[in-house]
Amino acid sequence: MKKYLVIGNPIEHSLSPKLHNRWIRENNIDAIYDKKQLNESDIEEIVDEVKKGGVDGINVTVPFKKSVIPFLDQLTPLAKEVQSVNTIFKKDNKIIGDNTDIGGFEKGLKYINYNLKNKNVFILGAGGVASSIILALKRLEAAKIILSNRTKKKADDLKKKYTDLEIIDWGETPDFNVIINATSLGLKTDDQIKLNYGDIGSNKLFYDIIYNPSKTKFLSKAEQFGNQIENGKMMFIYQAQLAFRIWHNILPKIDNKLLDL
Ligand code: ATR
């Protein structure tokens, strides 16, 4: 029986096992997908398990998408470009890191028929997932990307790579068409992001990478002010679908029954 894992810390909230095990059953694959909470010091050992064949594939989530990289033999071009890995597999005895967050984000926007071309996008956060979003936005031909992070140094580091990013101070609000919460603020239900909703106006797209809880304060307040809102559920499902294809060579079905789960 093949064995797959999602690693992170915390990991309790992850719905990946539920999703992958459902697709494994549907496709009659002899495999199991589990979750494992780790510390940074355990990463090397778990990657080694893939080398030895005890584990067949790993999904990586918060906060290890970058820290896993030194233990891998190779990165796919996408993972290398954004320096962020969420899917690990073995090929020709090499442990390879890939990134399906980029594709997941793109497909998530396509699902709601949102055309990003020529839009001004404001990203909150500069953690592990921010670089994947920046690359996706560029591929979708956003006109301008503005980014703000509590720790400005991390935003400035991103600008070294993506020189046309506009960095603004945490707490400032620019003019935008789309705002994306790529911070972990909102995972706890009383988390707030300071934004002057009254000044922002209406009819913007508020997108939260968080999918659990399904409506963060960031989204519910935006909705009250007449904006379109979207959580990270579809991005989550699509990144999982793409990871499933990497491991099993099958693109699993996303139907209404699955979406209702
Ligand atoms: P991930 O790799 O999954 O993105 P991360 O690297 O820990 O996780 O990033 C979390 C993001 O949420 C960061 O942008 C972080 O800001 P800092 O770089 O200043 O740490 C942001 N974040 C977390 N808690 C926050 C808070 N209380 N206020 C503002 N930003 C916060």
| Interval 135-175: pLDDT, tens | 999 999 999 999 999 999 999 999 999 999 999 999 999 99
Q: Between the CA of residue 166 and those of 24, 145, 155, what are the distances in Å?
A: 43, 6, 9
Nearest alpha carbon, ligand 1 atom 22: 183
Query: How many angstroms does the Cα of residue 128 sit away from the middle of ligand 1?
Result: 9
Give the C-alpha separation, 58 to 42, whole Å. Answer: 14
**Residues catalogued as catalytic:** 65
**Residue 122 and residue 221 in one domain:** yes
**Residue 117 and residue 222 in one domain:** yes
pTM, two decimals, is 0.95
**Looking at ligand 1, which atom is closest to the CA of residue 154?**
18
**Residue 220 and residue 250 in one domain:** no
**Residue 77 and residue 122 in one domain:** no
Whichever domain contains 160, its CATH number is: 3.40.50.720
Name residues whose C-beta falls within 8 Å of residue 42's C-beta, 6 or more positions apart in sequence: none
Query: How many angstroms does the Cα of residue 140 sit away from the middle of ligand 1?
Result: 25
Q: Please state the three-class secondary structure of 153-214 as a single string.
A: HHHHHHHHHCCCCEECCCCCCCCCCEEEECCCCCCCCCCCCCCCHHHHCCCCEEEECCCCCC
187 lines ligand 1 (CB under 6 A): no
**Residue 152 and residue 191 in one domain:** yes
Please give the distance of CA 56 from its chain centroid, rounded to a whole number: 22
How many structural domains compose the chain? 2
**Looking at ligand 1, which atom is closest to the CA of residue 150?**
19
What's the pLDDT tens digit per position in 2-14?
Answer: 999 999 999 998 9
DSSP state of 93: T
